């Protein structure tokens, strides 16, 4: 009788302990802004624990409880530090994400240094008008070393002993999405100059301040930096370089107490695609630099329709930047921020697919599940190509 009672008690006690631990984990998750993915993982853990319990009450509950304790330890490191007027430098804030991020962090109580391309422009004036007196606008073209040095001097003068807590390398450009063969070399160099070399130079200039504060470095990369997406050869290559730089320097800076995070967002409406005037200029640039052979094979009609890809990107982008803002906030303030953040629809899924799936499957999915093109180059649509390749030109 006593054996039956003890077995019955164990059968009820073990699931009860697991349920309490699981509930505690879920409460921890609820208090973490922007970490929707963590909630999904924890729920999956609860389900897995239930499966383990069905196999063996004691060992299943024990393993599940250990898993919950590990998850609790992880989540305890996700608690946010107090803002306490911490100073943050953000680059590329004239428009888009950087502009929204300045306003968001200013409302939270940060001292924000807003690096703009034009300190007299509309974006800079809007920040001065709508943000608190703590915000400081800095003229900062990250491709000009003199402006980086000047911005560094102004930041040092203002923060003094209080120090600089975080640098957010947000400035970036995309250009007109086009086939890699069509993109002029000047555009490849321009993307690298802004998206990679500029971010690296800003990082190197401000790292002594971050090392003193044991602060944060947050680099805004892109899903395209890890997923090979058509017509983004220049942009994606520069973002891939930034992602790898961040991963390497994350390990190097760990001994200094500096934490490095990379944001790899999906599609958000951030103005990085530019305006119609920008597309006109880039389109003209492509036509002027394409060799006669390339123009003949692709055809002018195909080149002029490249901007349709831009419209597709715009239509699939989310106007709600709150997931992106919350992830940057978490990277800046969490006790133990994540190394990678993937806000935006499909970003985590596609990055996982690119990392884990066979190349053939990845190429098939990207061609058929993303935004397949309906136009083909002129030469590919001709009968002579379909019947056996391009003939030798006369």
Q: Spot the catalytic one: 72, 104, 188, 235.
A: 235
Across all residues in the chain, what is the average pLDDT? Answer: 83
pLDDT above 60 for 181: yes
Query: What is the mean predicted confidence (pLDDT) over 369-382?
Result: 73
Q: What is the pLDDT of residues 210-261, one digit of tens each?
A: 999 999 999 999 999 999 988 899 999 999 999 999 999 999 999 999 999 9
Instruction: Tell me, yes or no, whether 36 and 120 share the same domain.
Output: no
What is the structure's pLDDT at 54? 56
Instruction: Tell me, yes or no, whether 29 and 124 share the same domain.
Output: no
pLDDT above 70 for 63: no
Residue listed under structure tokens 């951030």: 270
Instruction: Tell me, yes or no, whether 62 and 146 share the same domain.
Output: no
What is the structure's pLDDT at 175? 80
Decide if 384 is inside a domain.
no
CATH of the domain at 352: 3.40.50.720
Residue listed under structure tokens 């995309």: 174
Please give the residue range of the domain that contains residue 193. 87-369
- 5 alpha-carbon distance from chain centroid: 55
Instruction: Tell me, yes or no, whether 131 and 26 share the same domain.
Output: no
pLDDT above 70 for 95: yes
- Write down which residue in 36, 51, 76 finishes a domain: 76
Structure tokens given for 141: 């073209």
What is the structure's pLDDT at 15? 58
Query: What is the mean predicted confidence (pLDDT) over 268-297?
Result: 81
Residue listed under structure tokens 């608690």: 79
Decide if 375 is inside a domain.
no
Between these two residues, 5 and 107, which has the higher pLDDT value? Answer: 107
> What do you get for the CA distance between the two ends of the chain, in Å?
99
- 15 alpha-carbon distance from chain centroid: 39
Decide if 313 is inside a domain.
yes
Edge-to-edge order in the sheet of strand 87-90: 136-139, 111-116, 87-90, 166-169, 216-220, 259-263, 340-341
pLDDT above 80 for 363: yes
Between these two residues, 255 and 371, which has the higher pLDDT value? Answer: 255
Decide if 220 is inside a domain.
yes
Instruction: Tell me, yes or no, whether 58 and 167 share the same domain.
Output: no
What is the structure's pLDDT at 13? 57
Q: Contact, 99 vs 176, CB < 8 A?
A: no
Query: What is the mean predicted confidence (pLDDT) over 126-153?
Result: 97
235 belongs to the catalytic site: yes
Q: How far is CA 202 from CA 147, 193, 198, 209, in A?
A: 10, 12, 6, 12
The pTM (predicted TM-score) of the whole model is 0.81
Instruction: Tell me, yes or no, whether 121 and 149 share the same domain.
Output: yes
Q: What is the rounded CA–CA span in Å between residue 67 and residue 364?
A: 37
Instruction: Tell me, yes or no, whether 192 and 108 share the same domain.
Output: yes
Instruction: Tell me, yes or no, whether 42 and 174 share the same domain.
Output: no
Instruction: Tell me, yes or no, whether 320 and 247 share the same domain.
Output: yes
What is the structure's pLDDT at 270? 76
What is the structure's pLDDT at 124? 97
What is the structure's pLDDT at 289? 86
- 104 alpha-carbon distance from chain centroid: 17
Q: Contact, 101 vs 171, CB < 8 A?
A: no
DSSP per-residue codes, 339-393:
SEE--STTHHHHHHHHHHS-HHHHHHHHHHHS---S---TGGGSHHHHTTSPPPP
Q: Which of 8-22, 28-42, 120-134 has the lowest mean pLDDT?
A: 28-42
Q: Which residues pair with 203 in a beta bridge?
A: none
pLDDT above 60 for 288: yes
Decide if 277 is inside a domain.
yes
How many structural domains does the chain have?
A: 2
Query: What is the mean predicted confidence (pLDDT) over 37-46?
Result: 54
For residue 315, how many other CB atoms are within 10 A of its CB?
A: 10
Assign 304 a pLDDT band (cuts: 50, 70, 90). Answer: confident
Decide if 70 is inside a domain.
yes
Query: What is the mean predicted confidence (pLDDT) over 348-368?
Result: 89
Query: What is the mean predicted confidence (pLDDT) over 281-285?
Result: 82
Residues with Cβ within 8 Å of 121's Cβ and at least 6 positions away in sequence, in order, are 94
Assign 313 a pLDDT band (cuts: 50, 70, 90). Answer: confident
**Closest listed residue to residue 100, CA positions, set 318, 314, 349, 351:** 318
Instruction: Tell me, yes or no, whether 197 and 338 share the same domain.
Output: yes
**Closest listed residue to residue 155, CA positions, set 169, 136, 181, 182:** 136
Instruction: Tell me, yes or no, whether 174 and 277 share the same domain.
Output: yes
What is the structure's pLDDT at 379? 85
Q: Is the dihedral of CA 144, 146, 149, 154 positive or negative?
A: negative
What is the structure's pLDDT at 228? 93
Query: What is the mean predicted confidence (pLDDT) over 362-367?
Result: 86
Assign 56 a pLDDT band (cuts: 50, 70, 90). Answer: low
Q: Contact, 105 vs 185, CB < 8 A?
A: no
Q: What is the rounded CA–CA span in Å between residue 385 and residue 335?
A: 59
Ramachandran bin of 340, using left for φ above 0, alpha for ψ from -120 to 50, beta for the remaining angles: beta
Rounded to 10°, the helix 36-55/57-76 angle is 160
**Closest listed residue to residue 54, CA positions, set 11, 113, 105:** 11
Decide if 394 is inside a domain.
no
pLDDT above 60 for 43: no
- Write down which residue in 24, 45, 76 finishes a domain: 76
Assign 85 a pLDDT band (cuts: 50, 70, 90). Answer: confident
Decide if 133 is inside a domain.
yes
DSSP per-residue codes, 135-196:
-EEEE--TT-HHHHHHHHHHHHHHHGGG---EEEE--------B-TTTS-HHHHHHHIIIII
What is the structure's pLDDT at 345? 84
Instruction: Tell me, yes or no, whether 62 and 174 share the same domain.
Output: no
């Amino acid at each position: 009788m006593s054996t039956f009672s003890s077995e019955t008690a164990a059968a009820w006690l073990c699931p009860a302990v697991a349920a309490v631990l699981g509930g505690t984990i879920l409460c921890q998750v609820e208090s973490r802004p922007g970490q929707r993915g963590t909630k999904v993982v924890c729920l999956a853990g609860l389900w897995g624990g239930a499966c383990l319990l069905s196999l063996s009450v004691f060992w299943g509950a024990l393993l599940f409880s250990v898993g919950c304790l590990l998850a609790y330890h992880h989540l305890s490191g996700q608690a946010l530090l107090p803002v306490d007027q911490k100073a943050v430098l953000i680059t590329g804030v004239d428009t888009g994400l950087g502009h929204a991020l300045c306003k968001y962090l200013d409302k939270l109580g940060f001292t924000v240094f807003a690096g703009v391309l034009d300190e007299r422009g509309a974006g800079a004036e809007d920040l001065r008008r709508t943000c608190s007196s703590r915000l400081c606008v800095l003229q900062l073209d990250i491709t000009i070393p003199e402006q980086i040095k000047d911005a560094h001097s102004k930041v040092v003068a203002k923060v003094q002993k209080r120090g600089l807590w975080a640098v957010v390398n947000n400035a970036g450009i995309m250009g007109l999405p086009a086939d890699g063969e069509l993109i002029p070399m000047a555009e490849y160099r321009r993307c690298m100059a802004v998206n990679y070399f500029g971010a690296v130079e800003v990082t190197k200039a401000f790292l002594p301040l971050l090392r003193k504060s044991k602060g944060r470095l947050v680099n805004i990369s892109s899903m395209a930096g890890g997923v090979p997406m058509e017509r983004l050869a220049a942009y994606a290559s520069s973002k891939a370089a930034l992602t790898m730089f961040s991963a390497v320097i994350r390990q190097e800076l760990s001994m200094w107490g500096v934490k490095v995070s990379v944001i790899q967002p999906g599609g958000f409406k951030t103005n990085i695609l530019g305006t119609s005037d920008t597309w006109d200029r880039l389109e003209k640039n492509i036509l002027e630099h394409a060799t006669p052979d390339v123009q003949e094979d692709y055809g002018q009609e195909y080149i002029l329709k490249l901007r349709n890809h831009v419209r597709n990107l715009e239509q699939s982008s989310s106007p709600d930047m709150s997931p992106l803002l919350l992830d940057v906030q978490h990277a800046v303030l969490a006790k133990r921020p994540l190394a990678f953040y993937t806000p935006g629809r499909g970003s985590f899924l596609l990055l996982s697919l690119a990392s884990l799936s066979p190349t053939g499957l990845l190429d098939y999915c990207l061609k058929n599940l993303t935004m397949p093109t309906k136009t083909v180059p002129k030469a590919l649509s001709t009968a002579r190509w379909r019947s056996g390749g391009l003939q030798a030109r006369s």
